[in-house]
Amino acid sequence: MHSDLSSRCRHRERRPSLPGPPPPARRPAVDERRTTVADARDDEIRIPGAPAAEPPSLEEPTEPREPLPPKPDQSGPETRTPTGAETGAPQSAVAQQGAYLTTANGTRLADTDHSLKAGPRGPVLLQDHHLREKITHFDHERIPERVVHARGAAAHGVFEANGAAEGVTKAAFLRAGTRTRVFVRFSTVLGSRGSADTVRDTRGFATKFYTREGVYDLVGNNIPVFFIQDAIKFPDIIHAGKPHPDREIPQAQSAHDTFWDFVSLHTEAQHHTMWNMSDRGIPRSYRMMQGFGVHTFRLVNEAGETSLVKFHWRPKLGTHGLTWEEAQLLSGKDPDFHRRDLADAIEAGAHPQWTLALQVMPDTPEETFEGIDLLDPTKIVPEELCPLQEIGTMTLDANPSNFFAETEQVAFHPGHLVPGIDVTNDPLLQGRLFSYIDTQITRLGGPNFAQLPINRTHADVNDMLRDGMHQTAVHAGVAPYKPNSLDGGCPFHAGADEGAFIEVPAPVAESVKERSQPASFDDHFTQVRLFYRSLTPIEQQHVADAYAFELGKCYEQAIKERQLRALAAIDAELCAIVAGSLGLPVPEPEVEVGDPEPSPALRMVGDAWPIDGRMVGVVADESTDAAVLMAVRTAIHGAGALPVVIAPHGGMLGPVPVQRSFHTATSVELDGVVVLAASTDRRAVELLGEAFRHGKAIGVVTAAASALDVLGLDPAAPGIVTGDPAAVTAGVLDLLPTHRVWDRLAAVSA
C-alpha cells in the first residue's frame, strides 16, 4: 500500500527483545513504621502521611478481598436522605461494595486493560460498552476545567509548508508555499488551573490548523511516548497521577505513592516515566520544547499510496530544560514563568519557531519498522534508523487577547482530520477519537463548541447538525436530512476529486473480537534502556536525582522497592545510585533486556542553538556610566537576546529604564548575567551565586571584580568572562548558544 519514494526510510526486520518471565511472588515485609491511632501508645511518635489504611504488599495483590476501611483519622458525612432525615446506615454503605471490579450497574468485569478489538491488531469496536462507560465517566469527572491539561498557555501563529510532504500526502495545507493560520496551546498534564508552570510533568503541545479543507488538530505532547498502550487505561494512569483523593495533595506532581504504585506495577509506563524524570520533564520554556504526535498516523497521497508517519515539532532555539533547583525557585518566585516567558517573547518580537518534520515509514501489513511495532504508543523510532524530513515552519506571532475566550475555550480533537491524513489502529489513539469530543460536550456546555470563535473553521460549513445548547448559527432551509428534495437536495456528497475526506481502505485481518494486545507490545524495558543510555553523563545524573526525589517522597517502602526492581532491568548503575539515595538494597534484575544502540538524537546537551529571545541580566547602579550601559544593552539586543537591566531600585538609571530591582530580580529567569557594578546587597549576591550554580554564563567587568570575591568565585572558572564591557558582553553572548556552561555543572556533579 506504500509508495516507493527514494527518501523513505529503509525497512529491515529485527526481532524485538522481550522481557523474561515474571518474578516469583514474595511475602511483603512487615511495615514497622505504621502506628494507627487505635493501637498507638501515648509515648510513640505517630508518623502521618500513610496513603491508605494498611501498608501495601510488594507484589500486586491477587486474592479477592473487600474494600479497605478508611484510615482512623478519616470520616465521611452523616448518612441522611435528600430531605435531611437520618437513615441509620453506616458510612460504609455509601462507599464501594464487594471484592470484584464491576460496571456502574454492578456487572462483574474480567478485564479492564484491553479494549474490545477486531483481533489483537484490529480496530477498537464501538460495541465496547465497558470502554465507553469507563472513559465517558472519566471525561465528565470534573467541571469546568479540563480533567487533564487544565493549566495552559497559548498563542496564534502561521505555518508555512515547504512542499517536502507533497509526495506522501495530498493534504492541501502541506503544499509548497501554503500559509495556514494556527493556534497552539501548551499545557501541563496533572495540575489544576491554579498550579505552577515549572513542575515536573508532561507538557501538552496541541496545534489547531485552520486549513481551507477544514480544521486539522495535531494533538501531541513534549514526550514522544505515552504511559499506556490502550486508551481504556487512561483513567487509571491519571487517577494515579492526580492528587490523593482524600487530601487533594500533592498538587501538580508525581512524587507520591499512588503514581509510583501504578507505574511500578504497570511496567509499560516505565518508558514515559524515564523521559519525565529527565530534564525534558521541566522545560526551560515552551519556546524551547519539542512536540510529538505520539501516535503513528497514515498519510495518503494523490495517487492513493499510503505511508506510516510520526510527527515531530523541533524548536529553532533547541530543546532545553531547567535545573531542579531552578524549577523549585520559580514555583515560588514566579509560578507563571512559562506562560509569561511565551507571552513576553512574542510581545518583544522574539517570535518562537518550530519546524514540523516527519518520520516516513513503509505501510506494510505488519505495521512494524526495524522490529518496532508502530501501533505501540510506548515506543519510538530512533532518528538514526529513520531520519526526520522537514516539511514546514511554524511561527507564533500573536498573543491571545482574552485568555478565557481563546486559551480556555479552544477545543482540540485527534479526529479533526483533513484529506490526506488518517488514523491507524493504535489502541490509545482509537480511544482518544471518542474521548476528546465527549469531553468537550461537558466542558463547553453542549455539542456546538465548534462554533466558539477560537474553534471556528476557516472552511465552508454545510452540515445537518441542528439546535442544542449554544447554537449560534442561524440555519436556513427546512430539510436537515438526506436525501431530501425540499432543499433542492442540498447539501450534496463530495467525491475524492472534490476534496472529500475518505478513510483509507486499510485491510482488517480476519479474527475474533477479544480483549488482548499483540505480543510485540510486551517489551517494556528495551527502549527505556535505549533512552537512558543515550543521555550524556550530566543528564543521567539529573535522571538519578529525579528518581531519588520522587521515590523519596513516597511513604510506602514496598512501592520504592518495586520501582527499584524496574530500574534494575533498565540500568544497574542507575538502580544502584537511586537505591543508595533511598537507603535500600540494590535488587538483581529479574528480566533480560537487550542492549540497544544509543541514539545521540535523544540528548539535550552538546549542540549550539540561536539565542533569539534569551534573557541577559545587566547589573548596574548609579555609578555605572550611562553610555556604557546603553552600549551593552544595544549589543545584547543586536544579537537577538533580550537585555534586562537590574539595579538597586526601580525607575531610571539616567536615560535607561530599570526592568528589575534587587527586590524583584531572580536569576532563574535569566540565561546569562553581565555585571557592570558590584554590590554587597544580599539579593544581588544571591542572584550571582545562583546563576553560577545553575551553569549560567557570567560576565564581570574589571571594575566590578569584587562581586566574584564576595562569593569566592574563581575568575578563571568555566563560563566566567572578565575584562572591559565590550569583551565581557561578547563573551557572554558567545556562551549562550549551548544553553548552559555544562563543564561547570559537570564539575559540580562529579
CATH for 615-747 is 3.40.50.880
* Burial class of residue 622, CB neighbours in 10 A (0-12, 13-18, 19+): exposed
In sequence order, what are the residues at sequence separation of 6 or more whose Cβ sits closer than 8 angstroms to the Cβ of residue 232?
A: 112, 113, 114, 115, 130, 131, 134, 135, 427, 431
The full 3-state SS of 414-479, as one line of letters, equals CCCCCCCEECCCCHHHHHHHHHHHHHHHHHCCCCCHHHCHHHCCCCCCCCCCCCCCCCCCCCCCCC
In sequence order, what are the residues at sequence separation of 6 or more whose Cβ sits closer than 8 angstroms to the Cβ of residue 509?
A: 119, 121, 122
Catalytic option among 2, 130, 221, 320: 221
Distance CA 254, CA 94 (A): 29
Judge contact between 641 and 615, C-beta under 8 A.
yes
* Mean pLDDT, the chain cut into blocks of 10 residues (750 residues total): 43 37 37 38 60 89 88 68 73 80 75 89 88 84 76 95 98 97 96 94 96 94 96 94 92 95 97 98 97 98 97 97 95 94 90 97 96 97 98 95 88 94 96 91 88 87 85 84 84 85 88 90 96 97 97 97 98 98 96 94 95 95 96 95 95 93 94 96 95 96 94 94 97 97 74
Torsions phi, psi for 229 (to 5 deg)? -105, -10
Predicted local distance difference test score (pLDDT) of residue 584: 98
Side chain identity at 251, as an amino acid letter? Q
Distance CA 286, CA 354 (A): 11
DSSP string, 636-647: HHHTT-EEEEEE
Distance CA 14, CA 109 (A): 37
Question: 175-190 burial by CB neighbour count: b if 16+ within 10 A, else e?
Answer: eeebebebbbbbbbbb
Judge contact between 335 and 197, C-beta under 8 A.
yes
Consult the annotation and say whether 436 binds a ligand: yes
Predicted local distance difference test score (pLDDT) of residue 9: 53
Judge contact between 701 and 725, C-beta under 8 A.
yes
Q: Are strands 389-398 and 353-362 parallel, antiparallel or unpaired?
A: antiparallel
Judge contact between 220 and 291, C-beta under 8 A.
yes
Judge contact between 539 and 274, C-beta under 8 A.
no
Consult the annotation and say whether 525 binds a ligand: no
Catalytic option among 114, 130, 149, 542: 149
CB atoms within 10 A of CB 203: 24
Q: Name the residue with cell 533511598.
A: 582
Consult the annotation and say whether 693 binds a ligand: no
Distance CA 260, CA 244 (A): 12
Judge contact between 708 and 700, C-beta under 8 A.
yes
Distance CA 518, CA 238 (A): 24
Distance CA 737, CA 612 (A): 10
Domain boundaries, the chain: 152-455, 615-747
Say whether 615-747 and 152-455 share the same fold. no
Predicted local distance difference test score (pLDDT) of residue 655: 92
Consult the annotation and say whether 443 binds a ligand: yes
* DSSP element (H, E) containing 259: helix 257-265
Look up 221 and say whether it is catalytic. yes
Consult the annotation and say whether 234 binds a ligand: yes
Class of domain 152-455: mainly beta
Query: In 3-state terms, what secondary structure has residue 565?
Result: helix
Consult the annotation and say whether 432 binds a ligand: yes
Distance CA 435, CA 137 (A): 10
Query: In 3-state terms, what secondary structure has residue 394?
Result: strand
